Chain A
């Protein structure tokens, strides 16, 4: 299957995603410059982490206007698989493919460290090969990961099992203590209604090889691969 990685000026996890797809997952992958508009032969789009346009304004607020984003929205609306990681998640919120918004972390600092997330919904194309309630050890690295959504919309997310990952401790316990950034309901990752667009703050590409301390993130990429092969 063919992966495409969107590159905005200021993206900085694009190379890391590329490496995991090409050298670990051993799948074809190409970079897509933000001024392009074509997504021919792409099966999965990755919007990587970083600081698109420096994120001096609200994160992702300028990336939203890049020519490629209209194509990404179109791709998603046709059922194409899209995963936004960190800044990629923020951009998906800005363009409206996913609901909610990001506040600054409650500690008002950038946080980079390994945390744990609970796989709450393994019935998605992104988590299909995860075990039930599997705890993934995975790093976060962000300043604005404090996910916010109003209560009604939160209920809708919960009722439709759209909360895929929540911050938890090593035993899978979801509590304020295991919430690194203040996110509503410990939300770390959500999907859209159709289930083909995932946004998540933690970085699966940083935890896809044992020598980096965890290979749990690879489960997400492998799930996508399995789903795509199944679709074809």
Chain B
């Protein structure tokens, strides 16, 4: 007898339970109830977001591949598969394992598509490190990522880390993975062909991670809750073997389809493979390899034990496939077959314990969620610049911004990640985007992840547009053409209308920007309920972007290369400080509107930079983001192996702090020799992009004067020291 308490504990609402009764025309078994609850959970079924996700563009200038579990683009004869996924709640509870299994899960989505994982990125958000628990979280998450990724031999090449009070109580861990295969070798997550075999491969099944997706990922944190048992445990060594065995199995012609047992394990993989293949599947649970005694059938179906896959194999070739997995000391066990009736039938010792049609399991309800602009926002959007006093010592402000942990170097983190294995990383972490060569070709990929969530909080549509624009700008600054996007949409409780308003507007912003840049959103993930007793997180639609560099000679980095080069600023600096790191760090204010962004102008900026790079005129290119022009110039001076100073002269009518630290969009700093600068000017003029020579590289200091008044004069080693060591110092001084 199923009680209200039972289905509610599984996260189902009354009307959803009624719908299950209508579908089955009887009371569900415990196993069926569990299966429906996970399939219809926010994590698997997207009932509260599907309506809006439909709006994301599925086509762009690169041919898009949209698969069951991941997506990608075609570049020449290659399929570049990539996706970003969140593992926020598990990481908040148990940071090392939460982050480790986040890395493992997203990488499985890549190699089940038949692609060898070639790189990972991570976008992380924490509360201030002055709180010990946040330090514990950051250290644990970084440890989990290095523990898992390093062992796998997949380089962690990039990402971002931001700190803000809104993430205290609910950190964000977004993991992105990129894989490559020949375009004809892609695998699908489908089961079909009556009589074909269903094989379980990989690790054994235990009680870990039960309810991870339905309970943990689909509810907000409340006070005093103990959810640790719902976090899975990662075993990177097994995953490494699973990568090799899976790719070896896919080299044969015997694999019909394959799917990771991720969220909701066997439940998701059986029903979704049947649904995608328009077929039926019958499995016998007593054949499932276990690592624990006395597991109930529903627990076997719900377990989120890691490093497991479900494979559909052509009948008669089971031995060849199981031999491959056994070579790698992994299970390769037949647990069922594809059947004629379009049902998912689960047997336990020959007794049917669950039976439902794949489409009913896969057809989670869709809700039109109410939304409403938060009442507090109008007041927050008001910013009277006259009330902001201009600082007396701009050099001090610059040092303070360079020590702000969202801006400071993340070297302490990325040095713990193996970012060079596979020997493709030709631009190491620390520049605008990571660059991976494609061995044997005069071509490379650029990858980045970006999102300024403070902008999204102040103005979600503009903030999401900026997230896409900034990602594209980073890609372009590395010499690449923006090619496609994966998004990881982190939001608070969607059942609260003010939170949902943010979600809706952010989606619309992503749609605008991607359409303007003509790039597809090929994959992604939604993570709701990111709020704790301390309140909601800032809306954080993380954008992962891939770009294509058409020739290795175009690979460009952000730091100055030579003395006596001209420094060029492309784009216009406006009198705006809203949402800036300067306003937050120096004036302790989160106010105003997000910076203005004209998507057309942004596109023209991209075209200008790419043309200048491809013609060989550009020695370095760096976009202006958090901390504005002064911080970006500092980074050009200090982030390379060689430190090079610069002398800058700026003119303008606007406030000095806006000029130095404002975060006006669509601006890029370029360095070049004098001849090339003249040619870059012509290109900029043609595209109607503001062009100004603002200074020269050289010397031991960064000197900036405004209207002939010297405002900043800082020693390069001092800038570098504080920028390089602030994160390390805030973690080690306890």
Seen from chain A, the residues whose Cβ lies within 8 Å of a Cβ on chain B are 9-10, 12-13, 15-16, 19-20, 23, 49-51, 53-56, 109-113, 139, 141, 143, 203, 205-206, 209, 211-213
Find A206's partner among B150, B238, B423, B437 (CB 8 Å cutoff): B423
Seen from chain B, the residues whose Cβ lies within 8 Å of a Cβ on chain A are 146, 150-153, 235-238, 240-241, 244, 328-329, 414-423, 425-426, 428, 437, 439-440, 552
Residue in B closest to A48 when the chains form the complex, CB atoms: B153
Q: Residues of A contacting B241 with CB < 8 Å?
A: 9-10
A112 with B420: CB separation less than 8 A: yes
B416 with A13: CB separation less than 8 A: no
Given contacts A112-B417, A211-B437, A141 and B236 within 8 Å (CB-CB) = no
A111 to B420, CA, bound (A): 11
Q: Residues of B contacting A213 with CB < 8 Å?
A: 426, 428
A127 to B63, CA, bound (A): 48
A154 to B552, CA, bound (A): 46
Given contacts A51-B240, A54-B236, A111 and B416 within 8 Å (CB-CB) = yes
Chain A binding surface SS class: mixed
B416 with A109: CB separation less than 8 A: yes
A110 with B418: CB separation less than 8 A: yes
Given contacts A12-B153, A54-B236, A112 and B418 within 8 Å (CB-CB) = yes
Q: Residues of A contacting B415 with CB < 8 Å?
A: 109, 111-113
B237 to chain A, nearest CB (A): 3
A54 to chain B, nearest CB (A): 3
A56 to B148, CA, bound (A): 12
A19 with B416: CB separation less than 8 A: no
A52 to B414, CA, bound (A): 23
B241 to chain A, nearest CB (A): 5
Residue in B closest to A33 when the chains form the complex, CB atoms: B327
B237 with A56: CB separation less than 8 A: yes
A209 to B422, CA, bound (A): 13
Find A9's partner among B152, B240, B420 (CB 8 Å cutoff): B240
Residue in A closest to B152 when the chains form the complex, CB atoms: A12
Find A112's partner among B328, B416, B437 (CB 8 Å cutoff): B416
Q: List 17 A-B contacts (CB under 8 A).
A: A9-B329, A10-B240, A13-B421, A20-B423, A51-B237, A54-B236, A55-B237, A110-B146, A110-B416, A112-B417, A112-B420, A141-B150, A205-B423, A211-B426, A211-B552, A212-B426, A213-B426
A4 to chain B, nearest CB (A): 18
Give 3 closest A-B pairs by Cβ, nearest first. Answer: A12-B153, A54-B237, A51-B151
B418 with A141: CB separation less than 8 A: yes
Given contacts A10-B241, A12-B152, A54-B235, A212 and B416 within 8 Å (CB-CB) = no
Q: Residues of A contacting B146 with CB < 8 Å?
A: 109-110
Residue in A closest to B241 when the chains form the complex, CB atoms: A9
Indicate the member of B237, B238, B414 with the most A CB atoms within 10 Å: B237
A212 to chain B, nearest CB (A): 6
Residue in B closest to A111 when the chains form the complex, CB atoms: B415
Indicate the member of A12, A50, A51, A213 with the most B CB atoms within 10 Å: A12
A50 to B428, CA, bound (A): 20
Q: Residues of B contacting A112 with CB < 8 Å?
A: 150, 414-420
Residue in A closest to B429 when the chains form the complex, CB atoms: A112
Q: Residues of A contacting B416 with CB < 8 Å?
A: 109-112
Q: Residues of B contacting A54 with CB < 8 Å?
A: 151, 235-238, 240
